[in-house]
Amino acid sequence: MAQFPKGFLWGAASASYQIEGGVKEGGRGESVWDVFSHTPGKVRYGDSGDLAADSYHRWREDVQLLKDMGLGAYRFSMAWPRIAPNGDTNWNQNGFDYYDGIVDALLEAGIEPWVTLYHWDLPQALQNRGGWQNEETAHAFAAYAGRVGEHFKGRVRHWLTINEPQCFIGMGYGTGEHAPGLTLPGEVYDQCWRNARLAHVLASDALHSADGSNQVGLASTGDIWYPASDREEDVEAARQLTFARPEGVDSFLFGMILDGMADKLDFIGMNVYHGRAARMGGNGPEAVDFPAGYPRTAMDWPVTPQAMEWGPRFVHERYGLPIYITENGLSCRDWAALDGKVHDPNRIDFLTRYLRALSAGIAAGADVRGYFHWALTDNFEWAEGYGQRFGLVYVDYPTGERIPKDSAAWYREAVKSSGAAV
Which of 51, 52, 167, 315 contacts ligand FCB by CB under 6 A? Answer: 167
* 390 touching ligand FCB, by CB under 6 A: yes
Options 43-51, 230-238, 353-361, 374-382: segment touching ligand FCB (CB under 6 A): 374-382
Options 127-135, 162-170, 185-193, 413-421: segment touching ligand FCB (CB under 6 A): 162-170
Surface-to-core class of residue 255, CB atoms within 10 Å of its CB (0-12 exposed, 13-18 middle, 19+ buried)? middle
The minimum distance between CB 200 and ligand FCB, in angstroms, equals 16
Are the beta carbons of 125 and 88 closer than 8 angstroms? yes
* 382 touching ligand FCB, by CB under 6 A: yes
Comparing CB distances to ligand FCB, the nearer of 267 and 380 is 380
Options 80-88, 122-130, 161-169, 340-348: segment touching ligand FCB (CB under 6 A): 161-169
The minimum distance between CB 242 and ligand FCB, in angstroms, equals 17
* 33 touching ligand FCB, by CB under 6 A: no
309 classed as catalytic:
no
* 381 touching ligand FCB, by CB under 6 A: yes
Options 159-167, 191-199, 258-266, 344-352: segment touching ligand FCB (CB under 6 A): 159-167
Looking at residue 365, its amino acid is: G
DSSP 29: P
Comparing CB distances to ligand FCB, the nearer of 384 and 406 is 384
* 163 touching ligand FCB, by CB under 6 A: yes
Surface-to-core class of residue 152, CB atoms within 10 Å of its CB (0-12 exposed, 13-18 middle, 19+ buried)? buried
Separation of CA 206 from chain center: 22
Comparing CB distances to ligand FCB, the nearer of 96 and 394 is 394
Query: Per-residue b/e over 32-46, b at no fewer than 16 CB within 10 Å?
Result: bbbbbbeeeebbeee
Options 53-61, 62-70, 160-168, 345-353: segment touching ligand FCB (CB under 6 A): 160-168
Tell me the C-alpha distance between 381 and 132, whole Å. Answer: 22
236: enclosing H helix or E strand: helix 232-243
* 267 touching ligand FCB, by CB under 6 A: no
Query: Per-residue b/e over 75-113, b at no fewer than 16 CB within 10 Å?
Result: bbbbbbbbbbbbbeeebbeebbebbeebbebbeeeebbb
Comparing CB distances to ligand FCB, the nearer of 132 and 390 is 390
Which residue in 20, 30, 164, 309 is the catalytic one?
164
Q: Report helix, strand or coil for 109.
A: coil
The minimum distance between CB 301 and ligand FCB, in angstroms, equals 9
As a whole number of angstroms, the longest Cα–Cα distance in the chain is 61
The minimum distance between CB 80 and ligand FCB, in angstroms, equals 15
Which residue in 20, 30, 309, 327 is the catalytic one?
327
Tell me the C-alpha distance between 268 and 336, whole Å. Answer: 37
381 classed as catalytic:
no
CB-side neighbour CA atoms (13 Å) of 72: 13
Are the beta carbons of 11 and 45 closer than 8 angstroms? no
Name the nearest CA neighbour of 179 among 117, 121, 137, 118. 121
Comparing CB distances to ligand FCB, the nearer of 286 and 384 is 384
Interface mask toward ligand FCB for 332-351; x: CB under 6 A: --------------------
Crossing angle for the helix pair 93-108 and 55-68, to the nearest 10 degrees = 10
Comparing CB distances to ligand FCB, the nearer of 237 and 323 is 323
The minimum distance between CB 381 and ligand FCB, in angstroms, equals 6
Tell me the C-alpha distance between 6 and 22, whole Å. Answer: 39
Chain positions 304 to 333 lying near ligand FCB, rule: CB under 6 A, are 327
* 374 touching ligand FCB, by CB under 6 A: yes
Strands 323-327 and 275-281: unpaired
* 271 touching ligand FCB, by CB under 6 A: yes
Comparing CB distances to ligand FCB, the nearer of 175 and 229 is 175
Comparing CB distances to ligand FCB, the nearer of 96 and 132 is 132
* 15 touching ligand FCB, by CB under 6 A: yes
Tell me the C-alpha distance between 394 and 410, whole Å. Answer: 15
Among all residues, which ones are annotated catalytic?
A: 164, 327
Residues that bind ligand FCB (CB under 6 A): 15, 18, 163-164, 167, 271, 327, 374, 381-382, 390
